[in-house]
Amino acid sequence: MFLTVRLRTALLWTAAVCALALAALLWRSAVLPTMGSAEQGRAVYVLDAGHGGEDGGALSADGAKESEINLAITLRLDALLRLLGADTVLTRTEDVSIYSDGAETLRQKKASDLKNRVALVNETSNGVLVSIHQNSLPSSPRVRGAQVFFGGTEGSEALARSVQSALNECVNAADKSEKRIGPTIYLMKHVNRPAILVECGFLPNADEAALLRQPPHQRRLAVAIAAGLLNTEE
């Protein structure tokens, strides 16, 4: 009973801290961010749950698939952003790959899937890519923490720094540095909109992998990412 009370208190405390962080990060933002001039309109967040279907991505030590965790966090982020009045588009809403007809091998399906995600982002007016993933570093199973990567398009770095700052306040205990994704990453190389990729945690870390599957932690991640997105300077 005592442990249950302590756990409940800890969860409530964490939720309160994240709520305060969200309020502080949004305090200066009276309106949603715009992409350039007012005539161009406000941002449309293209929320991309990485992997899916036959491409499960990385696996945790107990076999949890990255694709399923990515989708759970993305759906929570989508609900929160829409609640706050933001415009969103999702690359997928189920555990599926979005490859085109004609792709047969797994390699062909992965290539087609990525091309379709890039096309969706580039065809979205005022689109801003927010790709949700999980990190994997099996050689260092103690490494943990959420990291934000960004591409070379205008606005990407500022967006990444804002989201990283919010994640540091809500979920991070260790690594708090921003990272730039190199041109070998297909999404960042071919998307011509502002783009970030959020690695929400490290699946080889058993403790963090367990957290990433829990709804309260997924909500904390969604709150932090939403705060970072909406606090970006115009």
Please, which pLDDT band fits residue 185 given cuts at 50, 70 and 90?
A: confident
Element (H, E) at 221: helix 215-230
Q: What is the DSSP string of 117-178?
A: HHHHHHTSTTEEEEEEEEE--TT-TT----EEEE-SSTTHHHHHHHHHHHHHHHT-SS----
The DSSP line for 65-126 is BHHHHHHHHHHHHHHHHHHTT-EEEES-SSS---PPTT--SHHHHHHHHHHHHHHHHHTSTT
What's the pLDDT score for residue 220? 96
pLDDT at 186: 86
Q: How far apart are CA 223 and CA 20, in angstroms?
A: 11
Q: For strand 147-150 and strand 195-202, is the pairing parallel, antiparallel, or unpaired?
A: antiparallel
**How far is Cα 165 from Cα 161, in angstroms, rounded to an integer?**
6
- CA dihedral (34, 73, 52, 165) positive or negative: positive
- d(CA 232, CA 63) in angstroms, rounded, equals 36
Q: Phi/psi of residue 140, each to 5°?
A: -135, 75
Confidence of residue 183 (pLDDT cuts 50, 70, 90): low
Lowest mean pLDDT across 18-32, 41-55, 66-80, 166-180 = 18-32
CATH of domain 2-230: 3.40.630.40
* pLDDT tens-place string over residues 20-66: 555 545 544 444 566 544 346 789 999 999 999 989 999 988 889 99
Mean pLDDT of the region 117-140: 94
Higher pLDDT, 107 or 176: 107
135 in Cβ contact with 202 (< 8 Å): yes
This prediction's pTM: 0.84
Domains of the chain, by residue range, sit at 2-230
Q: State how far the Cα of 40 lies from the Cα of 34, in Å rounded to an integer.
A: 8
Please give the pLDDT value at position 138.
87
